[in-house]
């Protein structure tokens, strides 16, 4: 009994036990507090929050600019007539004929309306998420190229209003989406839902971000690697270009303007990335590091000799053909 109390008293007197509690809080709990603070800082200042914040700011500015241009209707109409004069016969031979043709094929016309109203808002975030999962320079280049291209477009929207062809019946165009509004949620304001047309700027046609963002998606998808990804990367922007022209939502020059915004943005981001040393190191592709070549067995003469399989030895002739068992045994010993 005495030894038991002695052990307990010795245990209570061990140095360091008094440090395990401080003001009723265990040291383990205190050690977890800085870790929680670090975790909170990582969440607040992590790359994901910065990316989402930049996108949110861009979205607010985008919608503000897109919603503020109706007072420039006369200027927008005049700019549209200038575009038609610049395009000349190309407008009549390509855009006008395509617009009239698709109206005569209701199935394709409705499909084009859904494609225009839906894919622009589905494919872009989807490709952004897929790119982020792959990380690396391809994602960062694509992310900032998308931000920069959209910012360039917003500056043009704010300073150079342009009416789309569908709002210029004097040119002979037909508003396909209005013609088939009964088949979807859109009204007479392109892809905007019914009743929300007044909340959008109808005169922000140059550049076409419907095509610009689809081209961005195509470039990103192409970088995923693989034949099917590359086919998708070419097909999607090609279809978007046909749709925006066939539905009379954009002129051909609007499409080229959207492409220019995206390509310039990629070029600027690439130059900055190279200057900062953020691009992929040599020997790696956009789809990821190159697979190492399979190792060839390098066998030296001595290694080959060791690894060689010996041929089957020929059977030995009988040592002694006659005599007793003892003689044969002795003969075997002698040999």
The parts of the chain modelled with pLDDT lower than 70 are 1-48, 55, 62-71, 187-200, 280-335
The pLDDT score that the predictor gives to residue 230 is 95
Residue 37 and residue 34: Cα distance in Å, rounded?
5
- The verdict on residue 92 lying in a domain is yes
Judged on CB neighbours under 10 Å (0-12, 13-18, 19+), 23 is exposed
- pLDDT tens by residue, 94-143: 999 999 999 999 999 999 999 998 998 899 999 999 998 888 889 999 99
- The verdict on residue 62 lying in a domain is yes
- The verdict on residue 222 lying in a domain is yes
The pLDDT score that the predictor gives to residue 28 is 57
- The verdict on residue 31 lying in a domain is no
The pLDDT score that the predictor gives to residue 34 is 64
- pLDDT tens by residue, 315-328: 555 544 444 444 44
Residue 228 and residue 226: Cα distance in Å, rounded?
6
Judged on CB neighbours under 10 Å (0-12, 13-18, 19+), 243 is buried
SS3 289: strand
- The verdict on residue 122 lying in a domain is yes
- The verdict on residue 297 lying in a domain is no
Q: For the chain, how many structural domains are there in total? A: 1
The pLDDT score that the predictor gives to residue 241 is 97
What lies within 8 Å, CB to CB, of 87 at 6+ separation is: 95, 251, 252, 253
Give the bridge partners for 284, in sequence order. 289
Phi, psi of 169 (to 5 degrees): -60, -20
Residue 180 and residue 113: Cα distance in Å, rounded?
8
- The verdict on residue 106 lying in a domain is yes
CA 241 to chain centre: 20
Show the domain range for 210: 41-281
pTM of this structure: 0.68
Alpha carbon dihedral 55, 58, 59, 61, in 10-degree steps, equals: 160
The pLDDT score that the predictor gives to residue 67 is 60
The pLDDT score that the predictor gives to residue 212 is 96
Phi, psi of 98 (to 5 degrees): -65, -40
- The verdict on residue 228 lying in a domain is yes
């Amino acid at each position: 009994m005495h030894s038991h109390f002695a052990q307990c008293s010795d245990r209570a007197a061990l140095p360091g036990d008094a440090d395990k509690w401080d003001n009723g809080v265990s040291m383990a709990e205190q050690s977890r507090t800085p870790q929680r603070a670090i975790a909170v800082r990582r969440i607040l200042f992590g790359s994901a929050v910065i990316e989402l914040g930049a996108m949110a700011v861009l979205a607010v500015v985008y919608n503000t600019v897109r919603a503020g241009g109706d007072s420039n209707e006369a200027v927008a109409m005049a700019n549209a007539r200038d575009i038609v004069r610049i395009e000349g016969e190309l407008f009549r031979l390509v855009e006008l004929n395509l617009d009239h043709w698709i109206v005569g094929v209701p199935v394709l016309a409705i499909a084009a309306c859904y494609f225009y109203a839906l894919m622009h808002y589905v494919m872009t975030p989807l490709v952004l998420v897929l790119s982020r999962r792959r990380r690396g320079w391809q994602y960062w280049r694509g992310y900032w190229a998308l931000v920069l291209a959209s910012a360039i477009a917003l500056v043009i929207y704010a300073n150079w209003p342009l009416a789309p062809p569908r709002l210029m019946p004097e040119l002979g165009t037909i508003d396909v989406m209005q013609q088939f509004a009964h088949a979807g949620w859109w009204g007479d304001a392109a892809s905007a839902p019914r009743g929300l047309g007044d909340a959008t700027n109808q005169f922000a046609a140059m550049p076409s971000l419907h095509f610009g963002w689809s081209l961005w998606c195509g470039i990103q998808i192409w970088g995923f690697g693989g034949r099917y990804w590359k086919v998708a990367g070419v097909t999607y922007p090609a279809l978007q270009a046909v749709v925006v022209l066939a539905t009379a939502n954009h002129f051909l020059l609007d499409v080229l303007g959207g492409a220019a915004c995206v390509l310039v943005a990629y070029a600027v981001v690439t130059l900055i990335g190279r200057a900062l040393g953020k691009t992929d190191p040599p020997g790696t592709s956009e789809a990821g590091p190159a697979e190492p070549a399979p190792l060839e067995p390098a066998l030296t003469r001595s290694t080959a000799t060791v690894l060689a399989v010996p041929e089957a030895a020929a059977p030995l002739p009988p040592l002694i053909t006659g005599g007793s068992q003892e003689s044969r045994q002795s003969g075997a010993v002698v040999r």
